[in-house]
Amino acid sequence: MTQPILDVLHDTFGFSAFRGVQDQVVSRVMAGRNTLAIMPTGAGKSLCYQLPAVALDGCCVVISPLIALMHDQLRAATALGIRAASLTSVDADWQETQDRFRAGELDLLYVAPERASSEGFRNLLGRAPISMFAIDEAHCVSEWGHDFRPDYRLLRPLLDSFPDRPRLALTATADAHTREDILKQLGIERDGMIIAGFDRPNIRYAVHPRDGLTRQIGDLVSANPGPGIVYAQTRAGTEKLAEQLAKLPGPGGKRQVRAYHAGMPPEVRRANQDAFIASEDMVMCATVAFGMGIDKPDVRFVVHAGLPKSIEGYYQESGRAGRDGEPAEAHLFWGADDFARARMRIGEIEPERQAGERARISALGALVETGSCRRAILLRHFGESPPETCGNCDNCLNPPASVDATQTARKLLSAVYRTGQSFGIGHLEAVLRGQTNDKVTQRGHDRLSVFGIVQDDEVALIKPVARALLLRDALDTNEHGGLMLGPGARAILRDEVQLSLVLPPKRAKRGRRGSDD
Ligand code: ADP
Ligand code: ZN
């Protein structure tokens, strides 16, 4: 890196060195080459365009999807003495900004994609030199991505009309498919892709099937005295959990617990957030909106009470733990009903986005179901080639046993079929075990060939098998929670595929491990 660049790094930004891939990205951009930088949140993406913007002649045009985000960046840049402005629907100083731009007095100009692609904006750009384009949250250009913004597709003609100005696309979240799409859509050469390391070695990942969720979370919270975040799936869920966790013992009597969601009055939300940031032992029960943009490096654990939206989302949300580099934990609780609901939602979205959504759900399925290293699965998702084991996730620390559950799966599928595809797992289990309760005898299910065909040592497998079958589309649920055969059932019933099942460690073991930490 040249001395003038290091001087800008030091004098304008106050940093003594680049971090991670920042120097690679900045060097490439300074050399005038198109670049896609994939860097996790907190890795310092802004510097990658702000520094060249200061060092290069002309103005850097930054395309960003959210006004709030733009204004945050703008405030931060202005505070560093960088000459920056934005043109958005809420800015009153358009004339002044345009004048400053024309006079060559801007280093950074922030705009939304729909504005950037307009005729008027392109005319404006013809009036003064441009140094480069930065496309923030670049995954928005991909239909495959989780946050598709059609306006991003309109940027290409603008970029192409400045062929000798480098374009820098930035994102924290891009699986292999989305990356390809960004490169193609924004016209960036493949060798222009720079990926920062995604590993967070101090975070211990663990995944558990839900089985008495309140007690499960309560156990975790009791074992972890530090500040933590519990992500619930609904607003009501955050308040309910907060109420239940507040009954747990804590250092000064009871454990401090608060809730946070977008439906609360702003002043309450604000107060709860501030209290959490200042606290050394508070548990925040929140929806996933909580944590974005807040700076609390000593969060010791992040718990998901249900399935996140995607691996990217999970990585980002769990990544709010342990930013100080000290040991931290990420726990994910899931149930087959999470997957059923996620699949149901697929039917409600635009057809062209369904494939991406399906891939996201099956990637989550692989994460929760695996008996091998969780970290390896996460990192592979982000295109890295991690070692097979990490030594710091539930499966590496306590390798689960796996059993061939094909026969139990066939018995369960038969029972679903013979009872008419409308009963829940409780009834099916009673039938398979040969229990003669009222419901079983009234329906005549004690006379079926599947009555009592499950051996005692197989009983514990029934629920995990049901979960695994739901995940594989071999079972489906109706609107009342009754189980039906799914498209994947046939292959299992015909013994064409095996079902090997990872058994979660016994509860007693889990407790012992918790107290070892
Ligand atoms: P991102 O957009 O990738 O999430 P930011 O650009 O907001 O990350 O940067 C995250 C934090 O890291 C900021 O507080 C920023 O000031 C800091 N930072 C960025 N680059 C460096 C560096 N080279 N040295 C030290 N701190 C840095
Ligand atoms: Zn591992």
**Structure confidence by residue, pLDDT tens digits, 335-360:** 988 998 898 888 898 888 888 888 89
pLDDT in tens, 107-162: 999 999 999 999 999 999 999 999 999 999 999 999 887 788 999 999 999 999 99
Which ligand has the minimum distance to the alpha carbon of residue 371?
2
pLDDT in tens, 256-265: 999 999 999 9
Based on the number of CB atoms within 10 Å of its own CB, is 398 exposed (0-12), middle (13-18) or buried (19 or more)? middle
Residue 41 Cα to ligand 1 midpoint, Å, equals 9
Return the residue whose CA atom lies nearest to atom 12 of ligand 1.
44
Tokens encoding 442: 């009234």
Write down the pLDDT at residue 514. 34
Question: 312 by DSSP, 3-state: which?
Answer: helix
41 lines ligand 1 (CB under 6 A): yes
Q: Are 146 and 310 in contact (CB under 8 A)?
A: yes
Ligand 1 pocket: which of 11, 26, 46, 195 to mutate (most atoms <8 Å of CB)?
Answer: 46
Among 78, 87, 138, smallest CA distance to 110 is for 87
Q: What distances in angstroms separate CA 309 from CA 55, 345, 350, one per listed residue?
A: 39, 11, 17
This prediction has a pTM of 0.73
Write down the pLDDT at residue 293. 67
- Asked if this assembly's ipTM is beyond 0.90, the reply is yes
| Secondary structure (H, E, C), 190-237 | HHHEEECCCCCCCEEEEEEECCCHHHHHHHHHHHCCCCEEEECCCHHH
Beta pairing class for 475-477 and 483-485:
antiparallel
pLDDT band at 100 (very low <50, low <70, confident <90, very high): very high
Tokens encoding 144: 């495959």
Q: Are 485 and 470 in contact (CB under 8 A)?
A: no
* β-strand partners of 85: 109
Cβ neighbours around 254 below 10 Å, total: 12
Tokens encoding 349: 């979205």
Q: Which residues have their alpha-adjacent CB atom under 5 A from ion ligand 2?
A: 373, 375, 390, 393, 396
Write down the pLDDT at residue 515. 31
